[in-house]
């Protein structure tokens, strides 16, 4: 199995660029090496239409509409699959802020279940996001990108204070309490939080490019399992700023442990695309990347509300039918959360389950208060404590 990857919407650390609010990744996925077997076919299609290559943003709808039937015929012939990903940059900022301040392993005042139980985590993250002004978001991103740790830590109290001033906007008392206690502790202990990483490549990990790449690896792992074929190679469009980071992430994930990690309501396996190789190329030198570029351009036109011509729309219909989409955005994640948990949320809670839930929450609150007190005594974060010292939050 082979994957040919293109991306668009890269603004580097300028994540608040209004002209490009989203970052997109598209991948052509084939059972055989598309570049090796079909480069000649793509060149012949281009020659017949008097084109040098398939570069969609240069061609526009006219030339694409003319050659679309031939491209679609080829895609059907090889049973091509696709992966499409969107990362909404403002949603990324909101999740980064939430992970920085509300991680119960690094902030003893944070709620364990509000961070570690996925639906509760996403709901609270969405609520916190409603408190973020443009100025707060920009200050937080500046803190993440800071080259100097001291300067980064000096920004924490101001970010927390500005957010706390807006907590009254939250409609339910419990959320106001959790947010207030968590951010107040972070504001008063800026030296404690693990917020600083040095080096450009390390900071690249915060960027939408890397989040999208992680989503891509998840998608490719899914295709590999469904096809029962190992991924042999990822061919990625050349990106000089992120090439080293992309290669390093591929190395880390492809060599990670395949042991599942069980968390409340979900199971995580860190290993992705084991045994595959990663290389960069240019669209000029890769017919597969040219196809990914074409599909990604059509996808963006569709999302912008444009009406696609008949044959161009045919390609995109095939992509939707044979592909997988990952939408890391407020709308995408919110819709997925609602669909996944709608049935559970609609059911009444049995009295015995409600009583047991209250008992667990009371135990968690005692544990949280204990962690806050212990930090003042020895300066250790929750994740640094031995299980024998701090046991499961559900235990009395």
Tokens of 325: 């989409």
| 233 found inside a domain | yes
| 358 found inside a domain | no
pLDDT at 31: 95
| 141 found inside a domain | no
Q: Which residues pair with 261 in a beta bridge?
A: 268
Tokens of 387: 């299980």
| 260 found inside a domain | yes
| 310 found inside a domain | yes
Sign of CA dihedral 215, 220, 226, 230: negative
pLDDT at 208: 93
pLDDT at 396: 46
Q: Which residues pair with 3 in a beta bridge?
A: 29, 234
pLDDT at 240: 67
Q: Which domain holds residue 287?
A: 2-87+202-337
| 122 found inside a domain | no
| 93 found inside a domain | no
DSSP sequence for 139-168? HHHHHHH-S-HHHHHHHHHHHHHHHHTTGG
Distance of CA 66 to the CA centre of its chain: 36
The total domain count for the chain is 1
In sequence order, which residues have a C-beta less than 8 Å from that of residue 338 and are 6 or more positions away?
A: none
| 367 found inside a domain | no
Mean pLDDT by 10 residues, the chain (396 residues): 94 87 96 96 94 90 95 97 96 96 96 92 96 97 91 96 98 96 97 79 84 94 93 90 90 93 82 96 94 96 93 96 94 92 86 91 94 95 71 45
CATH of the domain at 54: 3.30.420
Helix, strand, coil percent values for the chain (each to nearest 5): 60, 10, 30
Rounded Cα distance, 109 and 104, in Å: 7
pLDDT at 262: 82
pLDDT at 387: 61
pLDDT at 386: 67
pLDDT at 343: 85
pLDDT at 344: 82
Rounded Cα distance, 103 and 64, in Å: 48
Tokens of 83: 């992966």
């Amino acid at each position: 199995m082979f994957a040919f990857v293109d991306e668009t919407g890269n603004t580097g650390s300028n994540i608040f660029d209004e002209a490009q609010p989203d970052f997109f990744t598209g991948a052509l996925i084939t059972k055989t090496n598309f570049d090796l077997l079909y480069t000649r076919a793509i060149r012949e299609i281009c020659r017949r239409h008097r084109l040098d290559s398939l570069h969609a943003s240069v061609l526009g709808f006219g030339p694409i509409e003319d050659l679309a039937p031939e491209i679609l015929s080829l895609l059907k012939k090889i049973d091509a699959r696709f992966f499409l990903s969107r990362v909404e940059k403002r949603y990324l900022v909101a999740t980064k802020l939430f992970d920085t301040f509300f991680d119960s392993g690094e902030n003893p005042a944070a709620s364990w279940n509000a961070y570690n139980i996925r639906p509760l985590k996403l709901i609270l993250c969405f609520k916190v996001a409603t408190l973020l002004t443009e100025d707060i978001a920009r200050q937080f991103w500046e803190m993440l990108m800071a080259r100097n740790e001291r300067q980064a830590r000096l920004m924490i109290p101001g970010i927390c204070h500005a957010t706390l001033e807006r907590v009254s906007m939250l409609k339910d008392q419990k959320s106001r309490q959790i947010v207030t206690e968590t951010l107040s502790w972070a504001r008063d202990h800026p030296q404690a939080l693990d917020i600083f990483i040095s080096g450009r490549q390390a900071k690249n990990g915060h960027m939408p490019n890397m989040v999208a790449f992680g989503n891509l690896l998840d998608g490719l792992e899914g295709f590999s399992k469904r096809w029962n074929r190992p991924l042999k190679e990822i061919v990625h469009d050349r990106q000089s700023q992120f090439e080293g980071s992309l290669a390093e992430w591929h190395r880390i994930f492809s060599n990670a442990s395949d042991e599942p990690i069980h968390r409340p309501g979900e199971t995580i396996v860190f290993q992705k695309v084991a045994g595959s190789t990663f290389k960069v190329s240019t669209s000029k030198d890769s017919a597969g990347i040219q196809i990914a570029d074409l599909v990604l351009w059509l996808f963006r036109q569709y999302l912008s509300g444009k009406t696609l011509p008949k044959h161009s729309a045919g390609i995109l219909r095939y992509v939707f039918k044979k592909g997988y989409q990952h939408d890391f955005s407020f709308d995408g994640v919110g819709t997925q959360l609602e669909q996944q948990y709608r049935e559970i949320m609609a059911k009444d809670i049995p009295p015995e389950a409600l009583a047991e839930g209250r008992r667990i929450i009371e135990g968690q609150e005692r544990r949280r208060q204990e962690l806050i007190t212990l930090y003042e005594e020895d300066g250790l974060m929750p994740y640094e404590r031995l299980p024998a010292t701090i046991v499961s939050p559900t235990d009395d």
